[in-house]
């Protein structure tokens, strides 16, 4: 059975488990930290939490921190009084004030300037804001949801993020896996976006094209899938076929899949050589199991390994219970 709320699709076991947790989390006022790659749908999950909470009829304010100029960020979040600076010709409510009694979603919290982190922490601890240029503390009642595309603890260890703020926002962490690790969701997401972008026309997907779409590694996650469906739906005539798919999907090969699946290995400068090798090896094992449909003898042949070596490596990377259909 597929669960869908606020356009959130969950068919895979891992996403259904996350939604089950959210239903419990939403009833509380605890701060939530969403962790996941760009495009996995953190904003939709944040809205899901708000809509499932007792604050659902109150404001839900979304803030893309990386899109706000640093010099305007304090005023945008906390407001300013008239005359606070040259262009402040009138008072302005900040986004925290606008979210009062509801929820505020701070996306890309990893991009939040360290110089402002102390003020954000004070606001969260005191539940009061003071506008820029003001002297009066204004009480606020806001449920905080934040999101990060990187491991914040690593930024804390590098003194790029305050540890006290990290522990304040990390009360309930929710890790949203990339789409390549929850492939069971792909057909349902495809169906959902086809209904949205088919503009009233009936569109089906050729089985081979569906297989290509399901096997693709989706480095841009759900956002990339949505954009691909929107594009092909414009030109498909009744049925989406292989020729309608973008070249990167038609031409995706196993080596590309491994590299894309391991984009963290190549992007994270803090990983050691041994960590990169381990990450790549674990993904090779997962890919071989997917290609063989879980048949370990066949997976061993694909990797030119003996069955005993494959068994040892699966145990080493804690993949001995891994199921291609379970997105473990």
Domain layout of the chain by residue ranges: 3-177, 180-252, 255-316
Write down the pLDDT at residue 173. Answer: 95
Write down the pLDDT at residue 319. Answer: 86
| 89 pLDDT more than 70 | no
Taking only the tens place, the pLDDT of each residue in 25-34 is 999 999 999 9
CATH topology of domain 180-252: Helicase, Ruva Protein; domain 3 (1.10.8)
Write down the pLDDT at residue 180. Answer: 87
Write down the pLDDT at residue 302. Answer: 74
Write down the pLDDT at residue 107. Answer: 95
In whole angstroms, what is the distance from residue 72 CA to residue 113 CA? 12
- In this chain, the answer to whether the domains covering 3-177 and 180-252 adopt an identical fold is no
Is the domain covering 255-316 a CATH 3.30.70 domain? no
Taking only the tens place, the pLDDT of each residue in 265-323 is 655 566 777 777 888 888 888 877 876 777 888 788 777 888 888 888 888 888 877 66
Q: Which residue has the tokens 């962790």?
A: 35
Compute the average pLDDT of residues 87-104: 85
Compute the average pLDDT of residues 44-56: 93
For 214, how many CA atoms within 13 A lie in the half-sphere containing its CB?
Answer: 18
Kindly state the percentage of the chain with pLDDT values over 70. Answer: 87
Question: In the predicted model, what is the mean pLDDT of the chain?
Answer: 84
| Cβ neighbours around 294 below 10 Å, total | 14
Q: Which residues pair with 278 in a beta bridge?
A: none
Write down the pLDDT at residue 113. Answer: 92
Taking only the tens place, the pLDDT of each residue in 107-130 is 999 999 998 999 999 999 999 998
| 249 pLDDT more than 80 | yes
Q: Which residue has the higher pLDDT, 145 or 256?
A: 145
Write down the pLDDT at residue 265. Answer: 61
**Quick check: helix, strand or coil at residue 64?**
strand
Write down the pLDDT at residue 326. Answer: 45
**By the 8 A CB rule, do 225 and 191 touch?**
no
Q: Which residue has the tokens 């005191």?
A: 126
Write down the pLDDT at residue 147. Answer: 97
The pTM (predicted TM-score) of the whole model is: 0.73
**Quick check: helix, strand or coil at residue 236?**
coil
- Could you tell me which CATH number the domain at 3-177 has? 3.40.50.300
Write down the pLDDT at residue 85. Answer: 65
In whole angstroms, what is the distance from residue 283 CA to residue 280 CA? 5
| 255 pLDDT more than 70 | no
Write down the pLDDT at residue 256. Answer: 55
In whole angstroms, what is the distance from residue 18 CA to residue 20 CA? 5
In whole angstroms, what is the distance from residue 130 CA to residue 12 CA? 44
Tokens of 70: 């640093």
Tokens of 240: 């989406």
Q: What DSSP string runs through 117-169? A: HHHHHHHHHHTEE--BT----EE---EEEEEESS-HHHHHHTTSS-HHHHHHH
Kindly state the percentage of the chain with pLDDT values over 90. Answer: 40
Taking only the tens place, the pLDDT of each residue in 165-224 is 999 999 999 999 999 889 889 999 999 999 888 877 788 898 888 888 988 888 899 999
Name the pLDDT band for 5 (thresholds 50, 70, 90): very low
């Amino acid at each position: 059975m597929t669960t869908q709320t606020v356009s959130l699709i969950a068919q895979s076991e891992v996403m259904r488990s996350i939604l089950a947790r959210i239903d419990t989390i939403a009833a509380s006022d605890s701060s939530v930290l969403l962790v996941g790659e760009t495009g996995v749908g953190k904003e939709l999950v944040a809205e899901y939490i708000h809509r499932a909470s007792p604050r659902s009829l109150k404001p839900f304010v979304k803030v893309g921190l990386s899109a706000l100029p640093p010099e305007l960020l304090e005023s945008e979040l906390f407001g300013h009084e008239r005359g606070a600076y040259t262009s402040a010709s009138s008072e302005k409510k900040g986004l925290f004030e606008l979210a009062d009694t509801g929820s505020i979603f701070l996306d890309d919290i990893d991009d939040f300037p360290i110089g402002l982190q102390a003020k954000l922490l004070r606001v969260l601890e005191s539940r009061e804001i003071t506008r820029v240029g003001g002297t009066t503390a204004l009480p606020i009642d806001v449920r905080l949801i934040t999101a990060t595309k990187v491991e914040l603890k690593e930024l804390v260890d590098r003194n790029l993020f305050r540890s006290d703020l990290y522990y304040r926002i990390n009360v309930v962490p929710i890790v949203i896996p990339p789409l390549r690790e929850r492939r069971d969701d792909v057909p349902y997401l495809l169906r959902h976006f086809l209904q949205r972008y088919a503009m009233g026309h009936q569109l089906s997907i050729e089985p081979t094209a569906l297989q290509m779409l399901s096997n693709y590694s989706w480095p841009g996650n759900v956002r990339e899938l949505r954009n691909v469906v929107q594009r092909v739906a414009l030109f498909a005539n009744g049925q989406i076929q292989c020729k309608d798919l973008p070249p990167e999907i038609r031409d995706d090969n196993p080596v590309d899949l491994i590299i894309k699946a391991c984009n963290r290995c190549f992007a994270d400068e803090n990983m050691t050589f041994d960590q990169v090798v381990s990450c790549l090896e674990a993904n090779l094992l997962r890919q071989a199991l997917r290609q063989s449909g879980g048949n370990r003898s066949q997976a061993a042949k694909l990797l030119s390994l003996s069955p005993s070596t494959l068994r040892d490596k699966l145990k080493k990377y804690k993949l001995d219970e891994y199921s291609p259909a379970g997105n473990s």
